[in-house]
């Protein structure tokens, strides 16, 4: 028996492009580092509300900075992020409630597909500027991720049940209890201590805490093509 893997929880929302960066990097490292990666679909709106924070783009200088920051990070991380044309409508009006409830249901019923469905939703909203709020959009992402149409439709009907709604609430509350004020949040459960890290730019620090080697966002020998 090898050493016991350390558990990492990644709290994310597909409305958050920085969460996408952290998600792809951790998916690349999960087979390199001795870790067990638990994906935790969370509602960013709930985190911001609960912590008294504001969406970063509400500050005009930050909104301008975000565009250039994400363009550079997209190249550096090899994650195809493109800003949606109507950014404010996508982020502030449309939101991600149904998408994140759907991912919660995927995690409950088909956890083996959670990584792929999450990625397909990010590809829609943060790469191709496509909708993620309407049922046909969510079904298209699920099908692209390898889910059968019947499975996807069944899950979509399930998203408005108290079971799924409460699970998403519980996960969001769990992130808040760790001290989250935004996303992505990575919680590293090490042998003697637990650390909460905010941001996709804290993964080098995470490697340090794990005692693992940081080889940049695209470690060699990993197929990063998306
Ligand atoms: N520096 C962080 C920024 C992450 C970030 O801005 N996340 C947004 C959501 S996409 C957020 O929740 N921000 C809250 C805040 O900055 O207080 C990174 O590189 O990942």
Q: Is residue 167 part of a domain?
A: yes
Q: How many domains does the chain have?
A: 1
Count the residues in the chain: 226
Let me know if residue 73 belongs to a domain.
yes
The boundaries of the domain holding residue 61 are 6-23+55-210
User: Which CATH number goes with the domain that contains 163?
Assistant: 3.40.30.10
With a cut of 60, say whether residue 59 has pLDDT above it: yes
Q: Which of 142, 137, 140 is nearest to 103 (CA)?
A: 142
* Residues 6 or more apart in contact with residue 32 via CB below 8 angstroms: 212, 215, 219, 222
Query: What 8-state DSSP symbol labels residue 160?
Result: T
Q: Which positions are catalytic?
A: 16
Q: Is 81 exposed, middle or buried (0-12, 13-18, 19+ CB in 10 A)?
A: middle
Region 176-202: mean pLDDT is 97
Residue that is written with structure tokens 């008294």 in the block: 52
Q: Is residue 222 part of a domain?
A: no
Residue 215 in any domain: the answer is: no
pTM: 0.97
The pLDDT assigned to 1 comes to 57
Number of neighbouring beta carbons within 10 Å of residue 128: 11
Beta bridge partners of 41: 12
Ligand 1 mutation pick, 53, 56, 72, max ligand atoms within 8 A of CB? 56
Reply yes or no on whether the pLDDT at 2 is more than 90.
Answer: no
CB atoms under 10 Å from CB of 163, counted, come to: 11
Return the residue whose CA atom lies nearest to atom 11 of ligand 1.
Answer: 182
Q: Is residue 48 part of a domain?
A: no
Q: Give nearest CA residue, ligand 1 atom 18.
A: 199
N-term to C-term CA, the chain: 34
Residue 135: inside a domain: yes
Q: Give the model confidence (pLDDT) of 116-141 as tens digits.
A: 999 999 999 999 999 999 999 999 99
The answer to whether position 97 is within a domain reads yes
Pocket flag, ligand 1, residue 18 (CB < 6 Å):
yes
Give the C-alpha distances (Å, rounded to integers) separating 188 from 38, 100, 113, 117, 199.
10, 22, 23, 24, 13
């Amino acid at each position: 028996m090898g050493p016991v893997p350390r558990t990492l929880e990644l709290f994310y929302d597909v409305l958050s492009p920085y969460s996408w960066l952290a998600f792809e990097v951790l998916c690349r490292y999960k087979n390199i580092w001795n870790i067990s990666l638990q994906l935790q679909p969370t509602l960013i709106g709930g985190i911001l509300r609960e912590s008294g924070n504001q969406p970063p783009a509400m500050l005009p200088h930050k909104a301008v900075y975000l565009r250039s920051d994400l363009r550079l990070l997209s190249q550096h991380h090899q994650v195809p992020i493109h800003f949606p044309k109507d950014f404010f409508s996508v982020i502030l009006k449309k939101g991600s409630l149904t998408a994140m409830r759907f991912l919660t249901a995927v995690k409950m019923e088909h956890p083996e597909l959670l990584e792929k469905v999450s990625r397909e939703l990010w590809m829609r909203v943060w790469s191709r500027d496509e909708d993620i709020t309407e049922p046909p959009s969510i079904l298209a992402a699920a099908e692209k991720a390898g889910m059968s149409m019947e499975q996807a439709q069944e899950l979509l009907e399930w998203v408005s049940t108290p079971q799924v709604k409460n699970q998403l609430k519980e996960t969001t509350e769990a992130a808040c209890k760790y001290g989250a004020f935004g996303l992505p949040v990575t919680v590293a459960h090490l042998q003697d201590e637990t650390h909460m890290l905010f941001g996709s730019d804290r993964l080098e620090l995470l490697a340090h805490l794990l005692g693992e080697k940081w080889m940049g966002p695209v470690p060699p020998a990993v197929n990063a093509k998306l």
